């Protein structure tokens, strides 16, 4: 390969796997915080929630606090976790910080704030914030494998205490921020009013988790069937005819009976599960199991 195509390929990789995720995740996070979180007085957990609470308490832009929180975390991640991960996740946070500061300083951007008048509208704001924050989270994780923020602290603690998983530690840090929000918002109000920010934060976190999982797992969700049978030819032929998907045959031996069987493996769409089950039921001595599989790669005939 000549030098020019190599340079072109490198630039394309940098654009797709670094620049684009940084910009996209940074913008999505900014919209989630500026438009839906800050105007409705709740903290969605993690460094985002901590920055929003500090902004609420001081009147400063949440962008400044996001900057102050994540710069130390960058050095921790850079030296202890991984340079590429630290750089990409931190650049995304820096972009969000700069945009939040800009949006707070320039009055014209106040028009895009969603200020809810009642609890029903606030719940919609929490769901919307979760959608944007979840998309931002998935974008940066796909690019560098980490979301930054509290995940960096969780990864650091996990290095010392291996029995504590990163996901549980991250959830724990998020929970601390949510609990603290109970004492920050609606001070002096009754218990129900003080509980509103906590419930809104939980709604936002739930939506964030669901949206990020959906994006990370991909939209090509399919199901994998494993069929143990003595009628491999008949079942495979019918599956291929009815579903238009390929079938792979693998030899197998039952460890209880020590008899040889054929194992058929096929990947199908969700809507085709019932069709495959009807085919299998024609052969009573056949055993089958199926489970969801996500992000199918390679040739997957529709």
pLDDT confidence of residue 172: 87
User: What tens digit of pLDDT does each residue of 185-208 get?
Assistant: 987 778 888 899 999 999 999 999
pLDDT confidence of residue 73: 85
pLDDT confidence of residue 244: 87
Q: Token match 């994006």: residue? A: 215
pLDDT confidence of residue 164: 76
- Beta-carbon contacts of 98 under 8 Å, excluding residues fewer than 6 positions away, are 63
Q: To which H or E segment does residue 211 belong?
A: helix 191-217
Q: To which H or E segment does residue 224 belong?
A: strand 222-229
> What phi-psi label fits residue 186: left (phi over 0), alpha (psi between -120 and 50 degrees) or beta?
left
pLDDT confidence of residue 126: 96
Q: Are 43 and 116 in contact (CB under 8 A)?
A: no
pLDDT confidence of residue 301: 54
Q: Establish how many alpha carbons lie within 13 A of residue 140's alpha carbon, considering only the half-sphere containing its beta carbon.
A: 31
The alpha carbon torsion through 166, 168, 169, 175 (nearest 10 deg) reads 140
Give the residue ranges of the chain where pLDDT is below 50: none
* Structure tokens given for 248: 């792979």
pLDDT confidence of residue 29: 94
* Domain coordinates in residue numbering, the chain: 3-217, 222-293
Average pLDDT taken over every residue of the chain: 86
pLDDT confidence of residue 219: 61
Q: Are 118 and 195 in contact (CB under 8 A)?
A: no
Query: How far apart are alpha carbons 110 and 105 in whole angstroms?
Result: 9
* Structure tokens given for 286: 């056949």
pTM over 0.85: no
User: What tens digit of pLDDT does each residue of 32-55 get?
Assistant: 999 999 999 999 988 999 999 999
Could you tell me which CATH number the domain at 222-293 has?
A: 3.30.70.120
């Amino acid at each position: 390969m000549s030098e020019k195509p190599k340079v072109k390929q490198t630039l394309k990789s940098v654009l797709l796997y670094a620049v684009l995720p940084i910009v996209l995740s940074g913008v999505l996070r900014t919209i989630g915080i500026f438009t839906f979180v800050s105007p409705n007085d709740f903290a969605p957990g993690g460094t985002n929630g901590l920055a929003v609470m500090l902004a609420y308490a001081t009147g400063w832009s949440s962008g400044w606090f996001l900057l102050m929180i994540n710069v130390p975390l960058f050095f921790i991640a850079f030296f202890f976790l991984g340079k590429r991960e630290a750089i990409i996740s931190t650049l995304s946070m820096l972009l969000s910080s700069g945009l939040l500061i800009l949006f707070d300083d320039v009055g014209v951007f106040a028009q895009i704030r969603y200020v809810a008048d009642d609890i029903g509208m606030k719940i919609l704001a929490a769901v919307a914030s979760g959608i944007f924050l979840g998309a931002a989270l998935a974008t940066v994780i796909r690019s560098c494998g980490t979301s930054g923020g509290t995940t960096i602290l969780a990864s650091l603690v996990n290095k010392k205490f291996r029995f504590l998983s990163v996901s549980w530690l991250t959830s724990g840090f998020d929970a601390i921020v949510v609990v603290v929000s109970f004492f920050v918002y609606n001070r002096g109000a009754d218990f129900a009013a003080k509980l509103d920010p906590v419930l809104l934060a939980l709604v936002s976190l739930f939506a964030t988790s669901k949206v990020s999982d959906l994006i990370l797992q991909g939209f090509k969700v399919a199901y994998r069937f494993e069929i143990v049978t003595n009628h491999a030819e008949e079942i495979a032929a019918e599956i291929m005819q009815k579903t238009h998907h390929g079938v792979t045959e693998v030899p197998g031996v039952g460890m209880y009976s020590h008899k040889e069987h054929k194992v058929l493996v096929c990947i199908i769409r969700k809507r085709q599960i019932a069709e495959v089950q009807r085919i299998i039921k024609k052969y009573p001595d056949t055993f089958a199991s199926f489970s969801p599989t996500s992000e199918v790669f390679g040739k997957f005939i529709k």
